[in-house]
Chain A
Amino acid sequence: MLRPSTTLPRRGRGPLWRNPAIRALIVQAVLFLALAFFVGYLVHNTLVNLEARGIHTGFGFLEGRAGFAIPQTLIEYTSDSTYGKTFVIGLLNTLLVSALGIVAATIIGFLVGIARLSPNWLLARLATIYVEAFRNIPLLVQILFWYYAVLRALPSPRQSLSLFDAFFFNVRGMVMPDPQPLEGFSATPWALLIAIAAAILFGLFAKRRQANTGQALPVYWIGTAIIIGLPLIVFLATGLPLEWVIPEMTGFNFRGGINILPELLALWLALSIYTAAFIAEIVRSGILSVSHGQTEAARSLSLPEAITLRKIVIPQAMRVIVPQMTSQYLNLIKNSSLATAIGYPDLVAVFAGTTLNQTGQAIEIIAMTMAVYLVISLTVSFLMNLYNARTLLKER
């Protein structure tokens, strides 16, 4: 009787290495031994080298006094702080520029991506040129260009370019008004939180109402009105408890206001413009990926354009857009490490730069720096996998 034989050849029939299971074991054992030997060799060399150079391993150096200044610190820091603190400062600066970059890149990217699909020939061409120009030029060139060719060419503080007499641009960066909360201001953020909660509740109510009665409420308009209106009323009722400190020219520099480093501006500009070019392509391909049949079906049900866009095109496009967008965000965070080329004090420039040079603890510092990026990447990929599993096309 004929029977398809999918079982492994029995033992005793031919030599041992013909048995796939045993062969797999041998291959893995050889790979394991080779790797173990290689890693052991590296560790041995490293230990010998470290001893020869008199470097002590360990994380004790984090307690040491840093002794250098950092131009931008989001939390309290002096040169008397520890090396451990420089790690935190650098990390916060990395996160700051990444967050700013992600917001700006998303806005520009969506606008350009939609513009590429515009029926207006000129606008579509302009968007195409934007994408093709900026994504084919190395980010580092763009950062250096914005920093050295544009921001360094701005006038000295005395001849600052001003915008509305409140924002000033000069060679030392940008100075902008500094909001100072007065007494009673804390009511406004609370009002904002309450408003957001109320808007969410209202949204749930409207959904249930529509499910029961079939009547839709203008959820978005009313929600926006609540979120903007309530804090605004509270803010006005408590008597505008916010004072703007407008920067003023005194002597050779500005006094008052928030000073933004030119390094931050250059990095922010370059990161957002560069990443936006990629996001634009993602948005465009996402929208194009929604098959034409979907919009035709919506039209034949005589759904209005706005509903078609909001309930049919965008949710399906998002399934394509979101995963790729996340990987662009991760790229942006990783690319923010190019800060070190212009001296913006991010994690790599401060910690893997100055701190490494001062302490010589290369292994610990590089490992910590890489670990930060790895943790961010792996966390985001993990969340992304959850999202993908949730929004996966559910097929019968």
Chain B
Amino acid sequence: MTTDSTFRTQMIEAREAPDQSRGVLGWFRANLFNGPINSIVSIVVILLLARLVWPFLEWAVIDADWIGTAREACTGEGACWVFISARFESIVYGFYPEAARWRVDIVFALLAILVAWLAVPRMPRKKWVALFTLVVFPIIAFFLLVGGSFGLEYVPTRAWGGLMLTLTIAVVGIVGSLPLGIILALGRRSKMPFVKGVCVIFIEFWRGVPLITVLFMASVMLPLFVPGELDFDKLLRALIGIMFFWSAYMAEVIRSGLQAIGKGQNEAGQALGLSYWQRMGLIILPQALKLVIPGIVNTFIALFKDTSLVLIIGLFDLLAIIRAGLTDSNWLGFSTEGYVFAAAVFWIFCFSMSRYSQYIERRLNTGHKR
């Protein structure tokens, strides 16, 4: 009832938002040109992109040669992807005999299905599929790829190569290093001094040396360790080295997960009269492993990238096959195409894994963040 001039009695009409903070131009102002320094930075970045990205696109896409089967097809100014498409088969299968490549295809397809099943959260029966992937699938893959039984032709590992070998090493490394890493992590937290000591020394040893020296060791020292008459497959030796090496890293990741689980969980298990393995297998590990899925996936990524190192001990993985193609006298001078292609393949695998780990992290992390 007071008509004090301090208060208004009518609503002020809504005003339009300021011109300069709306729309595309407003966005540009807010994000790129808010202040002199930012404007200079933006202009420098734009110029840099124009200098780097456009020529690369021109080289890789616009001026590139895509179609053809021989070197004569490389006529344009840009990249010649014919180099890749002409040897695509060997990049995928290595020297695997052509008649038996369907076996590799089956393994590829099975692997893709299993990985997709495990990766998509909605799919049911995760536990069984995981068990199948870790136990049954390696056996199937072994018999299919090596052959020599069930009427399949024997294919020595010498003939393995390309993407197929890269994936084999990666999958064996992953499937082998995960259980080994779990055991090592549990051992390192054990109260038994000898068990703990062995695990600590094992882990710190492998983490302290470069993978190359491990591969060298596998290729020159391992043959000395076994009885002379035993012929030790070169790929198998490399796989053993890779598995031990990465299990140490995996153990440290898993240990960080074990440390994050409260003491009460273990004590509650004890109070229920569960044995050590029951407590670990049913209570501690399921929680701990879930916590460190991102860390485990990051280790997988590192492992996948480092499979390329086997070229140094003379195995023909994806990178080595492409490199071997570069020394072909018909195809000299295509190293840029070769290495860019190899980089792209590895990048696609690693980037999707890292994206997946971020997605899982978001899914598991409910709340707590502002």
> Using a CB–CB distance below 8 Å, which chain A residues touch chain B?
24, 27-28, 31-32, 35, 42, 45-46, 48-50, 52, 118-123, 126, 132-133, 136-142, 144-145, 148-149, 152-153, 334-335, 337-338, 340-341, 348, 352, 356, 362-363, 366, 369-370, 373-374, 377-378
- A356 and B216 alpha carbons, distance in the complex (Å): 10
Which residues, 210 to 248 on B, are CB-close (under 8 Å) to A?
Answer: 210-213, 216-217, 220-221, 223-228
Contacts A139-B305, A141-B308 hold; do A45 and B342 have CB atoms under 8 A apart? no
B194 interface residue (CB < 8 Å to A): yes
A369 to chain B, nearest CB (A): 5
Complex contacts, A42 vs chain B, CB 8 Å: 225
B363 interface residue (CB < 8 Å to A): no
Contacts A338-B309, A362-B224 hold; do A137 and B31 have CB atoms under 8 A apart? no
Which residues, 35 to 74 on B, are CB-close (under 8 Å) to A?
Answer: 38, 41-42, 45-46, 48-49
Please name 6 further chain A to chain B contacts, defined as beta carbons within 8 Å, in addition to the given A24-B192, A153-B336, A378-B204, sorted by A numbering: A48-B228, A132-B354, A140-B309, A145-B336, A337-B212, A363-B224
**Would B220 and A362 count as touching, CB distance under 8 A?**
yes
A211 to chain B, nearest CB (A): 36
- A120 and B38 alpha carbons, distance in the complex (Å): 6
B91 interface residue (CB < 8 Å to A): no
Complex contacts, B32 vs chain A, CB 8 Å: 120-122
Chain A interface: which of B131-139, B279-287, B345-353?
A: B345-353
Complex contacts, A45 vs chain B, CB 8 Å: 224-228
- A366 and B216 alpha carbons, distance in the complex (Å): 8
B339 interface residue (CB < 8 Å to A): yes
**Would A362 and B221 count as touching, CB distance under 8 A?**
yes
Complex contacts, B204 vs chain A, CB 8 Å: 378
> Is the contact region of chain A dominated by helix, strand, or loop, or is it mixed?
helix
B208 to chain A, nearest CB (A): 4
**Would A148 and B326 count as touching, CB distance under 8 A?**
yes
A45 to chain B, nearest CB (A): 6
**Would A366 and B221 count as touching, CB distance under 8 A?**
yes
Chain B, interface residues (CB within 8 Å), range: 35 or more
A93 to chain B, nearest CB (A): 15
B34 to chain A, nearest CB (A): 7
Complex contacts, B205 vs chain A, CB 8 Å: 374
- A46 and B31 alpha carbons, distance in the complex (Å): 66
The residue on B at minimum CB distance from A118 is B41
Complex contacts, B308 vs chain A, CB 8 Å: 138, 140-141
B189 interface residue (CB < 8 Å to A): no
Contacts A126-B45, A136-B351, A341-B312 hold; do A144 and B198 have CB atoms under 8 A apart? no
Complex contacts, B340 vs chain A, CB 8 Å: 145, 149
**Would A348 and B319 count as touching, CB distance under 8 A?**
no
- A341 and B305 alpha carbons, distance in the complex (Å): 15
**Would B319 and A138 count as touching, CB distance under 8 A?**
yes
Which residues, 155 to 210 on B, are CB-close (under 8 Å) to A?
Answer: 191-195, 198, 204-205, 207-210
